[in-house]
Amino acid sequence: LVPKEKTRARKALEKLIGRLAPQERIRPDFEEILAVRNPRSKEMITDQDWPSIWPVAASFRSSVVPLPVRMGYRRKPEKRIPFKTIPNFLHLTPAAIERHCKAIKKFCTQWPQEMSSSLVDEYLPLIISYSDFIHQGNSIRDNRCRIITVMFKLNKLITNERAREKFIRLIGNRYDGQTDSITIVTDRCFTRKQNRSYAEYLITALFHESLKVEPWEKLADRKDAIEVKFEGSAAEKHVIEIIHQITSKSKETEDSVREYGQEMRNLLGIPFLNHPGN
């Protein structure tokens, strides 16, 4: 049996006796080698128009980005797999943002000078705030993005004193008495839109509930009030009586002066001094 593969000795023997056909050597095509273009990132200039090169959001391409950055062990830019999985902001450079602002500027109007901060609070009393989070990871989702915070002044919503007190009782610790503002934070729903709708529902439900008058609410006394009011209290009556006595034309007597001095000593804790001659 003759093996299919020839050994080195047999090839040399056949070459000597002329039985082995000579093999033609293929010369390299230098023109084809020189025709291979270098990566685009190496041919870019430093003062190029970057918004025209990267106009929209796209995955990272090492052949376009002339940045000497590397993530991980691999040094070759085309092997940087993590760069392709995370979002980037190469399309939101300062030059691109400035160009976008100039494009939409003609569709915008100036803020009216008559609209001061006080008028803003009057005509736009409701403040809705939320946050967007961007981070590196396997997912671009963040549960904190769904949290909605709603703030407003209570005096802009309710003017009735009875309904105002009931609204404060229903809202609980979300009311700030110093600033007369209410802060509602909703984070139970899965999306931001659902949490906003839920916050609007809470405000609507509390508003209509505070306007209702139940039969048992008529049994409320002054002691049940949230704030102690001076109007109609016993202290107001005593103050009125004292002012009436001061403004009256009745003259002071020795008994009234002696009684007044004794009351002041008792109030200030001053003992009565007995003179030896008395």
61-103 confidence digits (pLDDT tens): 877 887 766 666 656 656 667 777 777 888 889 999 999 999 9
Q: Which of 13-17, 24-28, 200-204 has the lowest mean pLDDT?
A: 24-28
Residue with tokens 């906003």: 196
Place of tokens 């008529």: 218
Q: Which two tokens stand for residue 162?
A: 């009875």
195-202: Cβ within 8 A, 24+ apart: 195/146, 195/147, 195/148, 196/128, 196/148, 199/128, 199/148, 199/150, 200/150
Closest CA to 124 of 151, 163, 148, 149: 151
DSSP structure class, residue 184: E
Q: How many CA atoms lie within 13 A of 258 on its CB side?
A: 3
Single-letter residue type at 57 = A
Which tens digit of pLDDT belongs to each residue from 164-186? 889 998 998 999 988 889 999 99
Tell me if the domain spanning 117-223 has CATH number 3.30.160.20: yes
C-beta separation of 133 from 142 below 8 A: yes
Beta-carbon contacts of 137 under 8 Å, excluding residues fewer than 6 positions away, are 86
Query: If residue 53 lies in a helix (H) or strand (E), which one and from where to where?
Result: helix 50-53
The residue extents of the domains of the chain are 36-108, 117-223
Q: Full-prediction pTM beyond 0.75?
A: no
Residue found by looking up tokens 């407003």 in the block: 152
The maximal CA–CA distance of the chain, rounded, in angstroms, is: 161
Interacting residues of 221 by C-beta distance below 8 A, sequence separation 6+: none
25-52 residue pLDDT tens? 777 777 777 777 777 777 888 788 889 9
- Kindly give the pairing relationship between strand 175-176 and strand 127-129: unpaired
- Which strands form 127-129's sheet, in the order they lie side by side? 127-129, 148-153, 181-186, 175-176
216 phi and psi angles, rounded to 5 deg = -75, -15
Whole-number Å distance between alpha carbons of 235 and 241? 10
- In this predicted structure, what is the pLDDT of residue 29? 74
